Amino acid sequence: MFNRVNMRVKICGITQTEQAIAIARHGATHLGFICVPQSPRYLTPAALAEITEALDAAGVVTKTVGVFADASLAEMVAIVRRANLSHIQLHGQETPEHCQQLLAELPGIFLIKAIRVRTAADLLRAETYAPYVDALLLDAYHPQQLGGTGLTLDWDALVSFKPACPWMLAGGLTPENIPTALATLNPDGIDLSSGVEQHPGVKDLALVQHLFEQLQPWLPISAEV
């Protein structure tokens, strides 16, 4: 079961200011924003900065995660600084060396490396990143899409996955299957996108509320839904 104090609940692919504020107030500890132009959930740097500024103005306390895939170091640094992001998630083919360069350029940033899992070899590869990142994220593999696919992982194959850093479970999670996932695995956090959407980039706040109702056994005692 989750550590009730340090549990992470990330809702990713947010594109609307009002939804960002509402989702954070429901209890999301992390809000994810897609910085990959090919994605249907893409946000321009200006739009992303508007949302993070609005979160700050509303007094919302949450972590803000920019999701990149094979972006240049200069591009990531510029967007992080413009939008005052607290976290970066790398969802491409970035190497451990790229991770080291990013951390050197942005000291204090929290770095998540996403790995799309297709075989046991991908789990072994994920563990090689542990010394260079703050957390890992396991997502389902899709040949064309980097994330938000709705595909689930083989949870039974992940039971023995215990890297040397925190890790988050993604890949086709929904309010309905979250209890089974968390009864099977012991991640340090979860990441949902399509599982709480009306369509790409537009979240369904009723599903978000249902998610946090389902998460009650795993939430910190003091959390409010």
Catalytic residues, by residue number, are 12, 139
Pick the closest to residue 168 from 110, 84, 93 (CA basis). Answer: 110
Chain centroid, CA 198 distance in Å: 19
Chain centroid, CA 197 distance in Å: 15
CB-based contact 9:31 (threshold 8 Å): no
d(C-alpha 114, C-alpha 116), whole Å: 7
Beta strands 30-34 and 63-68, pairing class: parallel
CB-based contact 188:209 (threshold 8 Å): no
